[in-house]
Amino acid sequence: MSDILITEAGRRAVPQPSADPAPSPARGRRRGRASRVARQLARQPGLALAVAVVALVLLAAVWPGLFTARDPLRADPSAILRPPGARHWFGTDELGRDQYARVVHGAVLSLRATLIAVALAFVVGGGIGLLAGFAGGRVEDLLMRMVDVLLAIPAVLLSLAVVTALGYGTTKVAVAVGVASVAGFARVARAEVLKVRQAVFVEAARASGSRWPSVLIHHVAPHAVGPILALAALDVGGAVLAVSALSFLGYGAAPPAPEWGSLISHGRTYLATAWWLSALPGLVLAALVLATSRISRAIDSDRSRQR
């Protein structure tokens, strides 16, 4: 509360500013959200472990030198096919290259392709769903029939068809995986728009004379984007698997680039004598997929409680 200063001339009350101003509502909401997340992580060790796994993989993709100083392409003829140990945590391959360094540097390629795929599906699929749900009529029928065609084709086959048409490479694999995920994002976005477009504030914006692009962007999209973001978080795990699967089949970056899928595929030749070449990159991939799935479930449950 502000203090009151009584002056001698006129005995007039002059409000003085308080020494401790009240925090802004936005800052209070941010603090409340951060404390809620911290309490949730403290109550759920599995979720905290999932967040730690994702954070470590992202950090490895952004700053691989923090985890290893070894060159992933440098061969060492004196250390061929050595098992995991203190010197080589993930062992070495048939050329003596450190497998741990290759897995760490492979996170850059694999996660870049995954993020491109999810971003493409989010933008294209979300845009199609928003337009179809808001426009309705023939526009909705045309767009959703195209989505139904994409849904009729299995995602793996659609990805293979697209990457075969585009050619080999990490970016082209990412585009293929993203195209295969467009239909799911479009259906979720359309369903949310159908819920929002009949709301009172949308009708008020239309009645006030706002153009339909403005209504869609400023009123409908912000209220429909939440479930699409939750789907994007859930789709990260599937996109990692799809990218690695295409890389496993040989459609990714050309050797000796250390993509996770190509590392697993290359290690098949030595499964009988060097199991670590395929098993350890596979365990890292599985840990990331499980962690992203756990985080997406937590996001979805939190949104359900807030409703």
239-272 pLDDT tens trace: 999 999 999 999 988 888 899 999 999 999 898 8
Place of tokens 């756990």: 294
pLDDT at 13 over 50: no
For 33-42, which contacts have Cβ atoms below 8 Å and span 24 or more sequence positions? 40/298, 40/302
Closest Cα partner for 278 from 257, 291, 295, 264? 264
Q: Is pLDDT at 221 greater than 90 in this prediction?
A: no
Q: If pLDDT is split at 50, 70 and 90, which confidence band does 7 have?
A: very low
DSSP per-residue string spanning 220-260 = IHHHHHHHHHHHHHHHHHHHHHHHHHHHHTT-SSPTT---H
On whether the CB atoms of residues 134 and 212 are closer than 8 A, the answer is yes
CA distances, 262 to each of 20, 83, 126, 153, 176 (Å): 59, 20, 31, 26, 17
Place of tokens 């030749």: 269
pLDDT class of 20 with cuts at 50, 70, 90: very low
pLDDT at 64 over 80: yes
Least confident of 66-70, 102-106, 166-170, 301-305: 301-305
- Distance CA(267)–CA(201), nearest Å, equals 58
Closest CA to 155 of 234, 241, 225: 241
Strand partners, 3: 16
Q: Mention every residue, 6+ apart, whose C-beta is less than 8 A from residue 47.
A: 40, 41, 294, 295, 298
The answer, yes or no, to whether residue 46 has pLDDT greater than 80, is yes
Domain boundaries, the chain: 108-306
Note the pLDDT tens digit of each residue in 90-128: 999 999 999 999 999 999 999 999 999 999 999 999 999
Block residue for tokens 């350890």? 280
To the question of domain 108-306 being in CATH 3.20.20.105, the answer is no
Are the beta carbons of 97 and 255 closer than 8 angstroms? Answer: no
- Rg of the chain over Cα atoms, rounded to whole angstroms, equals 26
